[in-house]
Amino acid sequence: MAYTVTVGNIRCHILSDGLNAIDGGGWFGLVPRVLWERVIQPDELNRVPADARALLIEADTGLILVDTGNGDKIPARHRRNIGLSDRNRRLVAELARVGYTPEDVDMLVLTHFHGDHIGGNTHWDTPDGAPGPVVPTFPNARTIGQRIDLAEASFPNERTRATYNADNWQPIMDRGLFEVVDGPQRPARGVRTEIAPGHTASLQTVWVEDGGESLCFLSDAASWAVHLDRLAWVPSYDLDPMTSIETKRRLRMTAQERGTLLVF
């Protein structure tokens, strides 16, 4: 379900690409289940629900979409593992609910390159959605991604290989629509990115700030509210746990000082 909020005079839509079921041990790392299950109850397969969220910003430069969820290029076995019963393009349907089409999007901001955040960047260009040629889902959008994270995604190691798929970004590059950036960016008035390392080396959060109000799209800098509340609760997916703790400490302090709306 899409939620619409206004930050100052900037209208934002919190979108969903669907509810996934992810192993609870992965989300909470070294924290024993007897502790984390008090916060969220797992299912019979030890999975907990996780919403694949995206953020649509009605900026002065046009529509900015932050992340795109899993998308529909997911093999049946993996869909079953994460609790997705079909390959519907949920994010496209969410866009329609707030009055837009994929062609309306002017910019994509990728927080990082994991497949559950950018799988919807592209889709199979076949009549029935079967595997085939891969094309950009948002054909008019300029895409920005951080250079360091792109390098890690392009040359993964044994631990990270399963989380990356070049089909999620290469077709965009092939069309000349991808801009590799270094460090914080300001893609529009009142919209900026901030490097928040830990989960990956250069994950970027996205801030919307206007009229004394602020919103922060956290992505996996903090996947759950409890990750900010209990800094030592670090997901096993974070590549640098100690850096994650310091990143979360800084984000929490800033959000508390400014009364920021946090989007997990």
Q: What is the pLDDT of residues 29-75, one digit of tens each?
A: 999 999 999 999 999 999 999 999 999 999 999 999 999 999 989 87
Give pLDDT, residue 10.
99
What sign results for the dihedral spanned by CA atoms 12, 119, 123, 109? positive
Give pLDDT, residue 217.
99
Is it the case that residue 131 has pLDDT exceeding 80? yes
- Which residue did the predictor score with more confidence, 72 or 147? 147
Question: Residue 36 has which token pair?
Answer: 């984390």
Spell out the domain ranges in the chain.
3-263
Tell me what the mean pLDDT of segment 230-242 comes to.
97
Q: Which of 17-26, 29-38, 236-245 has the lowest mean pLDDT?
A: 17-26
Give pLDDT, residue 162.
92
CATH superfamily of 3-263: Ribonuclease Z/Hydroxyacylglutathione hydrolase-like (3.60.15.10)
Question: Residue 237 has which token pair?
Answer: 């997916």
Average pLDDT of the residues of the chain: 95
Is it the case that residue 81 has pLDDT exceeding 90? no
- Which residue did the predictor score with more confidence, 76 or 182? 182
Give pLDDT, residue 85.
64
Q: Cα(231)–Cα(221) distance, rounded to whole angstroms?
A: 11
Give pLDDT, residue 225.
95
User: Of 190, 175, 110, nearest to 149 (Cα)?
Assistant: 110
Share of the chain above pLDDT 70, in %: 98
Give pLDDT, residue 84.
76
Indicate the pLDDT class of residue 129, thresholds 50, 70 and 90.
confident
Is it the case that residue 86 has pLDDT exceeding 70? no
- Burial zone of 45 (CB within 10 Å; 0-12 exposed, 13-18 middle, 19+ buried): exposed
